Amino acid sequence: MTASPLLFDRDLLKVRLDRAAPDYASADFLKRRVAQDVVMRLETILRRFPVAVDLGSRNGAFSEALAESDAAANIDVLFQTDLSARMLGVGNGLKVVADEERLPFGDATLDLAVSTLSLHWTNDLVGALIQIRRALR
């Protein structure tokens, strides 16, 4: 079996995210819109999600949209993850520097996983989705 081809240089992506972090808020309109859409969908779900993760949270657009929503009452703990530590400088939630291709969460430890405009940067999308599925209860 052959390994997935490397489409993206994850180290270079991290460097670029670090560089973009100080001014990211001036250009994150699409990220914010997608985060708002995801939160709107969560508002229609009555289930509680005690432990949630936002994969590729960048500057916390999802956590900010969630904080302004009734859906926030259904999430007790939100982990924000990003490849870039500098991107995690703002937003609410517990911050974890993590690569979407190598998730730091154990099996059956999460109740909800969201990702807004992040997973398309992975070299092995199927592998990332398998890891997410394993981490979900």
pLDDT at 3 over 80: no
Phi, psi (5° rounding) for residue 96? Answer: -135, 125
**Nearest to 91, CA basis, from 120, 119, 122, 68:** 68
Percentage of the chain exceeding pLDDT 90: 92
How confident is the model at residue 88, as a pLDDT? 93
Q: Which domains does the chain have, with CATH numbers?
A: 10-135 (3.40.50.150)
Q: Angle at CA 55, nearest 5°, toward 50 and 59?
A: 105
Closest CA to 72 of 97, 48, 104: 48
70 pLDDT band, cuts 50/70/90, is very high
The stretch 4-17 carries a mean pLDDT of 92
pTM higher than 0.85 for the full model?
yes
The pLDDT value recorded for residue 92 is: 64
* Mean residue pLDDT across the chain: 94
DSSP H or E run through 42: helix 29-43
Residue 83 has pLDDT above 80, yes or no: yes
Average pLDDT over residues 43-53: 97
Mean per-residue pLDDT, 126-130: 97
The reported pLDDT for the residue numbered 90 is 67
**pLDDT-based confidence at residue 16 (cuts at 50, 70, 90):** very high
